[in-house]
Homo-oligomer: A and B are copies of this chain.
Amino acid sequence: MINKVLIVGGVAGGASTAARLRRVNEDAQIIMFERGKYISFANCGLPYYIGGTIEQRDALFLQTPEAMKARFNIDVRVQNEVVSINKEEKYVEVKDLKTGEIYKETYDNLVLSPGSTPIKPPIPGIDKDNIFSLWNIPDTDAIKAFLDRRSVKKVTVIGGGFIGIEMAENMYDRGLEVNLVEMADQVMAPVDYDMAQLIHGHMAQKGIKLFLNNGVSSFEDKDDKTYVKLQDGTMLESDMVILSIGIRPNGELAKNAGLETNKRGGIVVDEYLKTSDDSIYAVGDAIEVVDYVNGSKTMIPLAGPANKQGRIVANNIVGKQEKYKGTMGTSVVKVFDLTVAATGNNEKTLNRLGKKYQEDYKISLVQPKSHAGYYPGAIPMTIKLMFDIKGKILGAEIIGYEGVDKRIDVIATLIKMGGTIYDLKELELAYAPPYSSAKDPVNMAGFSAENILNGDMEVVLWDEIDKEDKQNSIILDVRDDIELELGYIEGAKNIPVNSLRDRIDELDKNKEILVYCAIGIRGYIASRILTQKGYRAKNLIGGYNFYKCVVK
């Protein structure tokens, strides 16, 4: 019998647990502690409220303590921080932040959903009052007030993750000049370096100034201005700075109570989301999860998993015994007009796990249109698909304008079901001209993957073609002559694909032919002709367009 459940944290994971728990158990006493002033707010909406897309502050609140009481009979205690857990005697100590008073509350079950906290490294000058992090409602109010009351023209965003990018866009929407500084060689860690170049290009087009491979060494004041000083010496004049360089899990409470935590401070849970203590569960940003694709332990702080974990824990508390099977990190972000999405493992992850391209995994890269080309508004997306040598799908990254979220969700669904590229090509998806093509973009990724896997198409990647042995290979451009004006790869010979059958004798059979076209289809067709005529041929996947974008 469950009599009393305490929940630490009143937002994504915590409030979800509370609501579900009440639905499955009308009688339990449920107390939800939240150290902040607000519960159930839309963390993910905060940048858009700052930018003005979300107009009403009220829209950010999905629940209030009063409404949670009325609907779910939950005792919500805001500004109440759980400061310690006594797991032996099953009680917590709570500090009422309004009064400073500390009190005890016993439990039968305790659920931890304390979330995470933005990292604020000890960079000189970081405590200035025009430097902000964005994590909760008070942060949002502070940023918004600063923007509304000061004459802010130049903003520097530090960190090119989800939040940094969303903030860059929202600051731009407010008409500000925006710098984005990122320590790595790319923004948006969920996608690989090559795909990230599409984002960099788009952001640059919008006028965002990107500073990659560059950390902040200090924040300095001069003539009433703050300057962000970068490691390479660049000084960025900034009326305001947004810090979003990463987060760390709020695992101290658990750790101090003697619960198992990992190196990064994340709370360790079993497949039922139970901590090392039998009465304590944990969910959300603060927990270590299993990578659904590769089985390793990882931390994936996202709202979808937090919400679903909350529901599972509620079920488990009432005895339903439901497993959480892992997180694959499906994610999406709007980057101005672009949509950037990923699911499963990217190449960086595969490589970190010691997997080798061509030996352990292969890549298909296609650029199909979002819907039927003859129906207005069709626009290409780039799909990078990683699969193992048996065809099992490991991950995907998609960047484009329309229908990107749809395709990543379809692939995420396949990954969840252990699907292969053969499943992908067979998928029967909804087709009418405004929505897709008779062969959907994901089918295309599947077809191309199959061709790669069964050897019908040998491929060369953007970072391989320049390294090929120039003595023993020919670079063959199969685009129409006029397309050469858009640029070409140095040293390429041009034979348009439609003339290839007639002019094939111009090519030396002893050399390897590295074929390319604009996006890869004609190159593929040419490579088919060549190989069947006894040539060794490889097709540059992604074509010249992708090559140019990545290699520049």
Contacts and interface: CB of A to CB of B under 8 A. Distances in A.
A26 B532 CA distance: 6
Contacts of A372: 42, 44-45
A376 B443 contact: no
Contact of A70 (B419, B427, B434, B498): B498
* Most chain B beta carbons < 10 A, residue from A73, A417, A429: A429
What is the oligomeric copy number?
2
B414 A23 contact: no
A457 B79 CA distance: 35
A193 interface: no
A412 interface: yes
B304 A53 contact: no
Contact of A439 (B26, B304, B325, B413): B304
Interface string A5-25: 000000010000000000111
Interface string A302-344: 1111111001000000000000010111111110000101010
A416 interface: yes
A438 B303 contact: yes
Interface stretch (A151-159, A240-248, A401-409): A401-409
Interface stretch (A54-62, A90-98, A112-120, A207-215): A54-62
Contact of A26 (B45, B374, B428, B529): B529
B433 A304 contact: no
Given A412-B428, A414-B413, A62 B374 contact: yes
A353 to B, nearest CB: 20
A103 interface: no
Contacts of A498: 70-71
A242 B412 CA distance: 42
Interface string A36-66: 0000001011001000011100011010000
A503 to B, nearest CB: 13
A44 B72 CA distance: 50
Interface in A494-552: 497-498, 501, 524-525, 528-529, 532-533
A192 to B, nearest CB: 17
B429 A423 contact: no
Contacts of A305: 428
B23 A54 contact: no
Given A374-B60, A417-B414, A44 B432 contact: yes
Nearest to A55: B376
B332 A435 contact: yes
A533 B42 contact: no
A339 B25 CA distance: 38
A122 to B, nearest CB: 31
A105 interface: no
A426 interface: yes
